[in-house]
Structure 1
């Protein structure tokens, strides 16, 4: 068995608990609330540009991940490949690499870096790390799926940032 599978079995045997599982399930499904926060930020002039950049990065990352990157790798989910690993929660769709949840939350976190929003960086990276960890806890992603999601989010959010920065210099998209 590879290291990825061993890590997931260790989490299953040493970290999972009945008390923690409901919290993990809520956290893993909290991404719409995070996106909703950025939609609210659209209504305030001071945060509008950051919200546009963050939501755009989120959308680009999710679309590219779902329709380009995941089909390219088509990696089976760990609960289907690692003997003894039990999945918690609903059956996820699609393939495993990279994690779409991780890509989504790290798109927001990376965009805070690219936009130099220093008060947002730490909270968004903590949130992103917590959501990424839930995917391991639930047994629906390998650790390398998480790392792949972080890299995909970094690259695509940066490209989105550069494109939007160029567009915002040519037009007035933030007012």
Structure 2
């Protein structure tokens, strides 16, 4: 059963990855670079300070820095525990892929998908009552995650699991925030 799922995962990646073409390559290379998302991060920081003030907002921002560090290390722990080869290093399919970058680390689960979803879910839960368009932030993890498939460096299951784990962690982190906030700020 697991072998069948992995085979489907590989074939789906090859299909999705080969939908790409040269005209879109620079766009997806731009999307996959987290530093290019700095305007979104700055907007989130601004909205947090505007909504919660400097003291409370500063604590929330600090919690977001911890969130990103934890998420990144957690994803690396899972990657190093499972040791699934990245598609660009998988001899079974790497010749069938359009690969624009060649990371050497392991694949499962996507740190891009996990961390961006974790950050976004937590941000939306924090700000959803204050800004009705905050849900547009979901475009960030969706585009950021898909870029990894386009570039041939993650399988769809890596992305799906990263988004799932990021969603769960974002909700749990928000519950922890509410408990701490209620204890110390109300």
TM-score bucket (shorter structure):
0.7 to 0.9
- Indicate the residue corresponding to 2:134 in structure 1: 120
- Which residue among 108, 114, 132 is the counterpart of 2:119? 108
Unpaired runs of at least 5, structure 2: 1-5
Q: Find the aligned partners of 1:162 and 1:79 in 2 and give their Cα distance.
A: 38
1:51 and 1:171, CA in 2 relative to 1: closer, same or farther beyond 3 A? closer
Q: Deviations over 1:42-69 (max 9, x none)?
A: 5424473895365543333223222x32
When normalised by structure 1's length, the TM-score is: 0.81
- Indicate the residue corresponding to 2:99 in structure 1: 87
Contact 1:60 1:160 in 2 (8 A): no
Q: Which has the higher contact order (CA 8 A, sep 6+)?
A: 1
Tell me how large the CA RMSD over aligned residues is: 2.7
- Which residue among 21, 43, 50 is the counterpart of 1:17? 21
Deviation at 1:71, TM superposition (A): 2.1
- Is 1:130 matched up with 2:140? no
Contact 1:35 1:55 in 2 (8 A): no
Q: Deviations over 1:108-163 (max 9, x none)?
A: 22224433614212x12122111111110000000000011011101222221122
Rg larger in structure: 2
When normalised by structure 2's length, the TM-score is: 0.77
Higher mean C-alpha displacement, 139-148 vs 72-81: 72-81
- Indicate the residue corresponding to 2:3 in structure 1: none
Q: Deviations over 1:7-62 (max 9, x none)?
A: 2222333x211110000000111355143433444542447389536554333322
- Which residue among 23, 30, 33 is the counterpart of 1:26? 30
1:45 and 1:126, CA in 2 relative to 1: closer, same or farther beyond 3 A? closer
1:55 and 1:132, CA in 2 relative to 1: closer, same or farther beyond 3 A? same
Residue 148 of structure 1 aligns to a residue in which SS? helix
Q: Deviations over 1:59-104 (max 9, x none)?
A: 33223222x3222222110111124224212x32421011111112
